[in-house]
Amino acid sequence: MAFDLNKNDGAETAPSKFDLSKGEIEKPAGRSQRWLIGLFGVLVVGGGIWYFATGKTDPAAKASIPDVSSNTASVLAPETPAKEKAGGMDTTAVTQVKSPAVKEDSISITRQNTAPAELPAKAIRGLNHTIPVTFVQGSSSFASVNETLIRRIVTYLIKNPAASVHIDGYASSDGPLALNQQVSQARADAFKNHLSALNIDASRISTTGKGIENPVASNHTASGRKKNRRVEITLL
């Protein structure tokens, strides 16, 4: 006698509680993947906070490098080491100071103002016994003026405050000797007044009337006599 275990009376058979069929089993989302994403987010946020906290993007944290000119009179030298922390690094402030060459120049200027100047021989040779002006006949009025030479004389006296200048006045052979002597002195004094007007202290200027001595040209010609009506300077 056979038993039909697959009875089917037309009704749907309820699925067995123990379904051993090989179907796909639904798995929940992996927790490990979500954990890795969360950890990455934490690292990104933490790195950003550290980056801004250490001042990497702060312009003030960058050391300012002063602009060094080509002028050799200025160099960079550190001040008293005042260290400041910027971006986790120690930076030492620097400042621009005068070079030893500038200091030596200032010292030399001070010495010129306080001690007798050593007169450069070349400058003396270039200026001594030169003729800055000539004069009208029988007068202390200027007939011709060498402005360039006068500027050189004044510049030299300003740069050498311990120096002085002596002025010799001369006359041509026209007229009596006594008158020529007086005229030559008046001419020396006239040029002294001219230098005083150019800010050279009168106490640094001495004068002498030489009369018709030491002519630079012949007194037998009008052009020669014109050249002899002059003053000459000597630096002391």
* pLDDT per position as a tens digit, 70-90: 444 444 444 444 444 444 444
Residue 132 — pLDDT band, cuts 50, 70, 90?
A: very high
Dihedral sign computed on CA atoms, order 103, 109, 112, 118: positive
Q: In what helix (H) or strand (E) does residue 124 lie, and over which residues does it extend?
A: helix 121-127
Residue 9: its pLDDT value, please? 52
User: How many whole angstroms separate alpha carbon 227 and alpha carbon 214?
Assistant: 12
Domain parsing of the chain, residue ranges: 75-115, 118-235
Residue 43: its pLDDT value, please? 80
Residue 50: its pLDDT value, please? 74
User: How many whole angstroms separate alpha carbon 86 and alpha carbon 61?
Assistant: 5
User: How many whole angstroms separate alpha carbon 79 and alpha carbon 197?
Assistant: 48
Beta carbons within 10 angstroms of residue 236's beta carbon: 12
Q: pLDDT (tens digit, 9 = 90+) per residue, 13-71?
A: 555 444 555 444 455 556 667 777 777 777 877 777 777 666 554 544 444 444 544 44
- Name the phi and psi angles at 233, rounded to 5: -115, 150
Residue 126 — pLDDT band, cuts 50, 70, 90?
A: confident
Q: At 158, list the tokens.
A: 């300003």
For the cut 50, the answer to whether the pLDDT of residue 153 exceeds it is yes
Residue 48: its pLDDT value, please? 73
Q: Specify the 3-state DSSP secondary structure of 186.
A: helix
Mean pLDDT in residue range 147-175: 94
- If we measure between CA atoms, which residue out of 154, 175, 173, 171 comes closest to residue 163? 154
User: How many whole angstroms separate alpha carbon 205 and alpha carbon 164?
Assistant: 6
CATH for the stretch 118-235: 3.30.1330.60
- Name the phi and psi angles at 60, rounded to 5: -70, -20
Q: pLDDT (tens digit, 9 = 90+) per residue, 171-229?
A: 999 999 999 999 999 999 999 999 999 999 999 999 999 999 999 999 999 999 999 99
Residue 120: its pLDDT value, please? 63
**Bridge-based pairing state of the strands 205-209 and 165-169:** parallel
Q: At 12, list the tokens.
A: 């749907």
Mean pLDDT in residue range 89-97: 43
